Amino acid sequence: MTMTAPEAPLPDKEEEFGRWYDEILKRTELVDARYGVKGFIVYRPNAMRMVKRIYEMFEEELERTGHMPVLFPVVIPYSYFKMESEHIKGFEKQVYMVGEAGGEELEERLVLRPTSETAFYPMLSLWMHSHTDLPMKLYQGVEVYRYETKATRPLLRARGFLWIETHDAFARKEDAERQIEEDLGIARRVYDELALAFLVIEREPYDKFPGAENSYAYDALLPNRHVLQIATTHYLGQNFSRAFDVTFLDEHGGHEHPYTTCLGVGVSRTLAAMVITHGDRYGLVLPFGFSVHDVVIVPIPYHDVEGEVDEKSKRVEEILRAAGFDVLLDDSDRTPGDKYYRWEMLGVPVRIEVGRMEVRGGYVTLFRRDTRGREKVPDDKLVERLEELEREISRNLRRKAWERLEGSIVTARNRDELVELARLGKIIRASFCGRKECADEIKDATGYEIRGRRVDVDEEPDERCAWCGAPAKRVVYLAKAY
């Protein structure tokens, strides 16, 4: 990897989010949008390390809860795609169609998967026979394709993005409803490990996934106070199983349609949320396990102790590697300042500095990327201290993320307060009547969308809707969505 000599710090993330985001993607060499097809990007090695870890964490959780991996083709016959009427209404204008191959027109057009319900269910109808085949819990990690008509931006809004999806089928409604709780728990555990803060939202009835009976989402906060949907889970009832005539033989010999659910994790957006939530003016800030290395050793040679510095640096590298840390000894020809800039920009959690004072004092100097603070650690306490720092850095990043999110939420009691808080760019908590017409008025007046009610807290609404004054049904959260 090549990186230029130290540049000025990045723009301020809060004041110039767009510039900051473009610059950090460029300087950290995460992705490249110059591929030549609008809305499609190339994931570079620095990003793929993070992507692979995100996949691994979700896949471990999914398999621990009984999901089995599958891999479906990227193309879906159009006849399959149009079988669920609500679904096609929601996606038809977003799909890529393949109509020609080998220089000839195809007998049937093919859809590049925008999501895979219409690919899975025809196969479930072949695989499912008896109630003993249930539950059937399947997942795949793939790229999906949607013809996004809004302005695209790498990782945040694209026409091709990385994705994990589950498709689960159950004999009983209550089992499918329990799966929704399990899905929410899976996402919560992984995002907690990623030190991300989020609102767990049940979408309004008019804002559900096409074909779903209920939809739930994880909304993360961006520095410009917009929210970013990073995962969703949906209770589909029997809508898709009926549309595709998926049945099983129950205990009494009758044919029944299974109750189904699906979970969708935006891996690309999860990566973006990590970059955005934790990053600062000096680059990426990452927990252990996500940067190019967990620890980098930077020797600071002096003529009178150059050999001793090199020897100690190599010894520290060996000790840490034996202890299981992903460690790199940077003995390149770059200056120490160049090395500091490079590894801070890439978000390496801990830098170890070894110079004359460290050699003579029997210690090393640790630099924490999350706080940008230094501390001296005796040689014989180094492994123990790094193990502590692995936990401390995650806790610190998680705490700061939640403080930012919670500090952005304010309550509006009436229309005037709602308009003013929207002008200030806050996430707004408000009592709501539940009418789509009211939600449309709010969006026209403020640009804010009703995201839905939180499912992780119990909240009682005021008597009246904060916007229209009609009887309120629930407390909802409003924000601008990316």
Do residue 145 and residue 255 come from a single domain?
yes
Do residue 471 and residue 413 come from a single domain?
yes
Do residue 414 and residue 379 come from a single domain?
no
Residues of the chain with pLDDT under 70: 1-6, 84-90
What pLDDT does 308 receive?
94
* CATH number, domain containing residue 26: 3.30.930.10
Q: Which of 286, 270, 275, 272 is nearest to 347 (CA)?
A: 286
Terminal Cα distance for the chain, rounded? 32
Looking at residue 5, the DSSP 8-state letter turns out to be S
Token pair in block for residue 67:
């999901």
| 3-state DSSP percent of the chain in helix, strand and coil, to 5 | 40, 30, 35
- The domain boundary, picked from 335, 362, 391, lies at 391
CA distances from 230 to 155, 187, 224, 254, 352 (A): 11, 10, 16, 40, 34
Query: Are the CB atoms for 202 and 77 separated by under 8 Å?
Result: no
What pLDDT does 94 receive?
87
Query: Are the CB atoms for 84 and 118 separated by under 8 Å?
Result: yes
What pLDDT does 3 receive?
46
Do residue 98 and residue 230 come from a single domain?
yes
Cα-flanking dihedrals φ and ψ of residue 283, to 5°?
A: 125, -150
Do residue 233 and residue 272 come from a single domain?
yes
Which residue in this structure is represented by tokens 């990227």? 74
- The domain boundary, picked from 215, 250, 278, lies at 278
Containing structural domain, residue 474: 409-479
Do residue 266 and residue 303 come from a single domain?
no
Q: Which of 76, 69, 173 is nearest to 118 (CA)?
A: 76
Query: Are the CB atoms for 429 and 454 separated by under 8 Å?
Result: no
Q: Is residue 2 part of a domain?
A: no
Q: Are strands 427-432 and 409-412 parallel, antiparallel or unpaired?
A: parallel
Do residue 363 and residue 448 come from a single domain?
no
* Measured distance CA(363)–CA(377) in Å, rounded: 5
Q: Domains in the chain: how many in total?
A: 3
pTM across the whole model? 0.94
Name beta bridge partners: 297: 329, 352
Could you read off the pLDDT of 59-92 as tens digits, one per residue? 999 999 999 999 999 999 999 988 866 666 667 7
Could you read off the pLDDT of 146-159 as tens digits, one per residue? 998 777 899 999 99
Q: Is residue 6 part of a domain?
A: no
Q: Is residue 403 part of a domain?
A: no
Do residue 173 and residue 51 come from a single domain?
yes
Do residue 327 and residue 183 come from a single domain?
no
Do residue 307 and residue 246 come from a single domain?
no
What pLDDT does 18 receive?
94
* Measured distance CA(13)–CA(119) in Å, rounded: 41
Token pair in block for residue 472:
């309120």
What pLDDT does 429 receive?
98
Do residue 229 and residue 148 come from a single domain?
yes
- Kindly report whether the peptide bond that precedes residue 135 is cis, defined as omega within 30 degrees of 0: yes
Could you read off the pLDDT of 219-276 as tens digits, one per residue? 999 998 899 999 999 999 999 999 999 999 999 999 999 999 999 999 999 999 999 9
CA distances from 223 to 18, 100, 226, 227 (A): 10, 44, 7, 9
- The domain boundary, picked from 278, 311, 330, lies at 278
Token pair in block for residue 249:
């033989």
What pLDDT does 1 receive?
43
Do residue 224 and residue 302 come from a single domain?
no
